[in-house]
Copies of this chain bind each other. A is one copy, B any other.
Amino acid sequence: MRENNVRNLLLTMYTPYMTTSNLIRHITGFTGSNAIVVLSLDDKHYFFTDPRYDIQAEKELNGGLFRIHTCVAFTKIFEYMKESGIDRIHYISDITPYTMVEGVAQGYCIPTDGSDILGDLIECDKQEVYVYREKFSGDSYKLKIARVLRELLKNNQEFKEDSVFLITSVENISWLLNIRDADDHNTVPAVLGKVLLFGDASLTVFIEGDFIDSSLDHELHSDPDINFVNKEDFNQQLNNSLFYDVTTIMCTDVRDKGQHINDPITRLRAIKSHVEIANFIHIHTIDSFVLTDFLLNYINLGTYSEMSASEHLLSLRSAHKLFIGNSFVSISACNGSSASIHYHPTKGKDKKVDRGVYLLDSGGHYLGGTTDVTRTILVGQYDVSEHFKQHATRLLQGFIDMHTCVFPCGTSGKVLDVLSRAPLWRLEYNYPHGTGHGIGNYLNVHEGPCGFSSSTELQANMVLTIEPGFYCSGKYGIRMENVVFVKECGNGWLKFEPLTWVPIDLRMFHLNTLSKEQLLWLSWYTREVLKRNSKLGLSGNAIQVLLSDLETISLII
């Protein structure tokens, strides 16, 4: 730093592709997912994180080296630094999102080349890239390019046929070109790279890696409209009058003449094609069977720890030929652990799963789609408290009310959100997370822009989760999560259709306080779970459990 005349250097958690990097973890030891560091030659270094991680940061960082600050908005950091008497800060253009420094007074933030100071610490590992076949991705890249261009021209008067659009969102690039990272352990298998889309439907593409499947990538590489180049050549082409989406660009991508427009891929990606929906139905059927089998036949054996349970589940999922890997790190949590929303067991320190409340939030990437399911069940001969039952029942009501709602076109998830919350609100409880998120096709398990916290209008064939929760600190947590897709009723009305068919443990609820409509849905859902999973060979024991559930409900209706 001294050599480069840098006294204060801003570091982020981002790679040059706005994915998460290990830079800050490497330098500070911090393992959380949100932080900014300012390395300083003057005094201690500065460490900023959000309030979720205040205790963790104190624990993991060396207080002799870092001043730790928690703040909700990272845009306040520069104000804070100014007030602390720091007269200027250097940042590394490559790993600093444009929106982070955009509003800061000129001359205060100074761009610098990170490789001089950090060397290969900010370089990304080379990926092995492969083509995600059309029968899984839904549409050809040719068709997708044409649709994206049409949207660009339709939505932006300024965007003409001789304009150039810089695509920097790696999920959007992977969707557009039907390519994925070949690493099965990558829960977000997006391909790192950047793309220039020209008004004549030709592309210039830089990919941080090599293609591994020569037969399938042949079409891409032999397409005269696609020009694969290396990083340097790509960056040289940026000297155009570019259009880009500022929300996903790094400072290094910004050219003087650039202009912001929304990347239309983000919305297009969220609306699944008919092929994608058919695939989602198929792989959710498979995944639901694995989970149903696991929850009804295995978890009660009393032989699992939190960790071994999720490992066994992974092995059951892996048996299917379309399965690729976990879509996120499973939350396998018993009793007290289940009250921590983001709990992950660690080997050796995990609990036994023998008696009590067990919460399992897991999902898989498959060729053809991604799953994300949560069930909370009672393990062993365990009687829950009245407090538990009351809250669980309200939770179930909110879960059902969202599943059964019908809504006019033009309605956003945000408008519907309260339907899942209102029953728990009656007990003066509000779960401290969203009601549900969009899901990608073997890409992000959390995919924008649709979801129940979003003002994006819901459209037919969007896929999202419904996952209300209740958490009683130190004692237990309950969450139920299904994946659903938006379906047309006709005449401008929409509804949700479940993709997940996994049993709900009825022992947790006061079923007699449900409304008749709620009971009818529960009965229908349980019947469907039974029907669909029986077809795939569910064991006789498990079938007995579901039949007995159906009888329980029918006695109340």
Interface residues of chain A, those whose CB is within 8 Å of chain B, are 401, 404-408, 415-419, 422, 425-426, 428, 430, 489, 491, 493, 513, 515-518
Contact = CB atoms under 8 A, between A and B. Distances in A.
Nearest to A427: B406
A425 to B, nearest CB: 5
Contact of A516 (B406, B489, B513): B513
Contacts of A425: 405-408, 493
B418 A430 contact: no
Contacts of A419: 418-419, 422
A326 to B, nearest CB: 34
Contacts of A415: 417-418
A466 to B, nearest CB: 15
A518 B513 CA distance: 12
Contacts of A417: 415
Nearest to A491: B428
Contacts of A513: 516
14 contacts: A401-B422, A405-B422, A406-B425, A406-B428, A407-B425, A408-B430, A416-B418, A418-B418, A419-B419, A428-B489, A428-B491, A513-B516, A515-B515, A515-B516
> Which 8 pairs between the two chains have the least Cβ-Cβ distance?
A515-B515, A428-B493, A406-B425, A406-B426, A408-B430, A415-B418, A407-B425, A405-B422
Given A408-B425, A408-B430, A513-B516, 15 more contacts: A405-B425, A405-B426, A406-B425, A406-B426, A406-B428, A407-B422, A407-B425, A415-B418, A418-B419, A419-B419, A425-B493, A428-B493, A515-B515, A515-B517, A515-B518
A394 to B, nearest CB: 11
A32 to B, nearest CB: 27
A411 to B, nearest CB: 8
Copies in the complex: 2
A425 B406 CA distance: 6
Contacts of A489: 428
A408 B516 CA distance: 28
A413 to B, nearest CB: 11
A230 to B, nearest CB: 49
A546 B484 CA distance: 45
A417 B411 CA distance: 12
Contacts of A407: 422, 425
Contacts of A428: 406, 489, 491, 493
Contacts of A422: 401, 405, 407, 419
Contacts of A426: 404-406
A516 B418 CA distance: 21
Q: Which of A401, A407, A418 is the most central at the interface, judged by chain B CB atoms within 10 Å of its CB?
A: A418
A406 B422 CA distance: 7
A436 to B, nearest CB: 15
A384 to B, nearest CB: 22
A324 to B, nearest CB: 38
A409 to B, nearest CB: 11
A422 B430 CA distance: 20
A406 B425 CA distance: 6
Contacts of A493: 425, 428
A18 B491 CA distance: 41
Nearest to A401: B422
A23 to B, nearest CB: 37
Contacts of A518: 515
Nearest to A424: B406
A406 B428 CA distance: 7
A157 to B, nearest CB: 15
Contacts of A416: 418
A410 to B, nearest CB: 10
A412 to B, nearest CB: 10
Contacts of A418: 415-416, 418-419
